Amino acid sequence: MKAFLSSYRLGDHADDLLALVPPGRIALSTNALDNQGQRARETIFRTERAFFERLGYAVEELDLRRWFGRADAFALATELSRFDLVWATGGNSFGLNLAMKLARFPDALRAAGVAYGGYSAGAVVAATTLHGVEHCDAIDDFPPEYPSREVVWDGMRIVDFAIVPHWQADYEEARGTVAMVAELERRGEPYRTLRDDEVVIVRE
């Protein structure tokens, strides 16, 4: 599966995304912000849509909440197959990971064969584990409309290591990253730190 995982947006690697997934259709999820309410989600969606449109992509919203509890496991895969790339923004990693589980998103993504990308939380959930992320994100800040409050520790395993975004950044979201790394090392989990200008690219 092709993937583009970053700490913030495209880092310094917009050309690499354009080479990996030439301009086409993007399904954009802001579900990592569900705990912040509809206004926050709409604001980020408009900002991200404008950003990708300047690069030549056509953007549609993918709201995973629409797919919670759907009996047909292939319905979401069919929807995703209309796109060239699924992109998930930053926000709360535990909330996004739970939304993906409730929508059966990982299976649908693989069945659709579409590329995946995301930054911050969107990158974290593509990795092996969310252990350590509790030092950066609230572990129990789930939206009230979610039918579960389960903490899902396993990521999608698109890459075979954990991702620590915002490494060495000087702002609030980055303050727990040293503790996150310490937790991963204590557990013996492989990981990769990403500064805000860095990305991980999977070309297969």
Confidence (pLDDT) at 70 = 83
Residue 74 has pLDDT above 90, yes or no: no
Distance CA 103, CA 57 (A): 25
Confidence (pLDDT) at 174 = 79
Confidence (pLDDT) at 173 = 76
Question: pLDDT, tens digit, for every residue of 160-196?
Answer: 999 999 998 888 877 899 999 999 999 999 999 999 9
Q: pLDDT class for 49, splitting at 50, 70, 90? A: very high
Question: pLDDT, tens digit, for every residue of 116-161?
Answer: 999 999 999 999 999 999 999 999 999 999 999 999 999 999 999 9
Q: pLDDT class for 3, splitting at 50, 70, 90? A: very high
**pTM summary value:** 0.96
Residue 72 has pLDDT above 80, yes or no: no
Confidence (pLDDT) at 89 = 98
Distance CA 67, CA 17 (A): 27
User: In the predicted model, what is the mean pLDDT of residues 15-44?
Assistant: 96
pLDDT > 90: percent of the chain:
93
Any residues with CB less than 8 A from the CB of 10 and at least 6 apart, and which?
A: 4, 16, 17, 119, 199
Residue 54 has pLDDT above 90, yes or no: yes
Confidence (pLDDT) at 119 = 98
Which amino acid is present at 24?
G
Give the tokens for residue 14. 């917009």
Q: pLDDT class for 204, splitting at 50, 70, 90? A: confident
DSSP line for 78-108: HHHTT-SEEEE--S-HHHHHHHHHHTTHHHH
Q: How far is CA 25 from the centre of its chain?
A: 17
Question: Domain range holding 164?
Answer: 3-202
Q: pLDDT class for 69, splitting at 50, 70, 90? A: confident
- Contact status, residue 156 vs residue 104, Cβ threshold 8 Å: no
CATH classification at residue 106: 3.40.50.880
- Contact status, residue 60 vs residue 27, Cβ threshold 8 Å: yes
Report CA-CA distances (Å) from 50 to 12, 56, 60. Answer: 18, 10, 11
Residue 7 has pLDDT above 90, yes or no: yes
Q: Provide the mean pLDDT of the chain.
A: 96
Q: How many domains does the chain have?
A: 1
DSSP line for the chain: --EEEESSTTTT-HHHHHHHS-S-EEEEE-GGGGGG-HHHHHHHHHHHHHHHHHTT-EEEE--GGGGTT-S-TTHHHHHHTT-SEEEE--S-HHHHHHHHHHTTHHHHHHHHT-EEEEETHHHHTTSSB-TTGGGTS-SS---TT-S------B---SSSSEEE-STT--SGGGTTHHHHHHHHHHHT--EEE--TT-EEEE--
